[in-house]
Amino acid sequence: MLEIVRVPVLADNYAWLVHDDQSGETVAVDPGEAAPVIAAAEARGWRIAQVWTTHWHGDHTGGNEAMKAYGATVTGPAAEAAKIPTLDTAVGESDVVRLGGHSATVMTVPGHTAGHIAFHFADDAAIFTGDTLFAMGCGRLFEGTPADMFANMQRYAALPDDTRVYCGHEYTQSNGRYALVAEPDNAAIAARMVEVDALRTRGEPTIPTTIGLERATNPFLRAMSAEELGERRQAKDSFRG
């Protein structure tokens, strides 16, 4: 089975360690800095052999060079190879990457960046979404359009409800405050925010989430059109709640 460990890095990022018990192999997903990720692995007796990168932004690739010096190989989006000089293996839509006996399918999910990808372990009901799908939110559209992100949300919404979502940031509380404004009559959002506020008061994480929970409470996943998503994204960009 897969063991997945959250590693806080930088200000509000999460890197992820994914470990296959049977083979003993370990992957680091989006190590924004290397030292805490390596320390978390070594504390468990694991050695990181691979890095999987969802997109080129420095808070997701900042640790790649040190991870390569540590002995790991780096896999990431072919469409962003020019922006990720540490890349060893370039992948795109429908390619398969492997961790021991487990396989993840690459999904191309542009919008936050032009070549952003996600890694979906269908058999293990887990997906690493980087900065596309957040808990109650979605990534800013730095290099894409509302239509791009709407297409991504439709793909995510089609996954099974129990799929665990491992994203790149602890943004849930601020996303939820906007969600309450976007859908003021959504009782599921209000109930979730009681739980989120309690977790954050205790200094506890809110990630991972699930596709089912996002389908009920995420105003971007719930948008009915690209136009509605775009309006919500623009409103969230200037939201100060």
The CA angle 237-239-240, to the nearest 5 degrees, is: 130
- Write down the catalytic residue from 30, 59, 124, 148: 59
Residue 234 corresponds to which tokens in the numbers above? 């623009």
Neighbours of 170 (CB within 10 A): 19
Among this protein's residues, is 116 annotated catalytic? no
| Catalytic (active site) residue 112 | yes
Among the listed residues 19, 102, 120, 169, the single catalytic one is 169
Q: CB–CB of 236/146 below 8 Å?
A: no
Q: Which structure tokens are listed for 93? A: 């839509």
131 is catalytic: yes
Q: Which of 19, 55, 102, 116 is catalytic?
A: 55
Three-class SS state of 131? coil
Of the candidates 20, 30, 102, 112, the residue annotated as catalytic is: 112
Cα atoms in the Cβ-side hemisphere of radius 13 Å centred on 190: 6
Q: What is the DSSP secondary structure assignment for residue 183, as one 8-state letter?
A: S
Active-site annotation holder among 60, 102, 116, 120: 60
Q: Is 116 annotated as a binding residue?
A: no
Binding site annotation covers 19?
Answer: no
The residue from 19, 57, 102, 116 that is catalytic is 57
Whether 19 is catalytic is no
**120 known ligand binder:** no
The active-site residue, picked from 20, 30, 131, 148, is 131
161 classed as catalytic: no
Compute the Cα dihedral for 42, 46, 52, 54 and give only its sign: negative
**56 φ, ψ (degrees, to nearest 5):** -80, -10
Give the residue numbers annotated as catalytic, written as ranges: 55, 57, 59-60, 112, 131, 169
Binding residues: 55, 57, 59-60, 112, 131, 169
Which residues participate in the annotated binding site for Zn(2+)? 55, 57, 59-60, 112, 131, 169
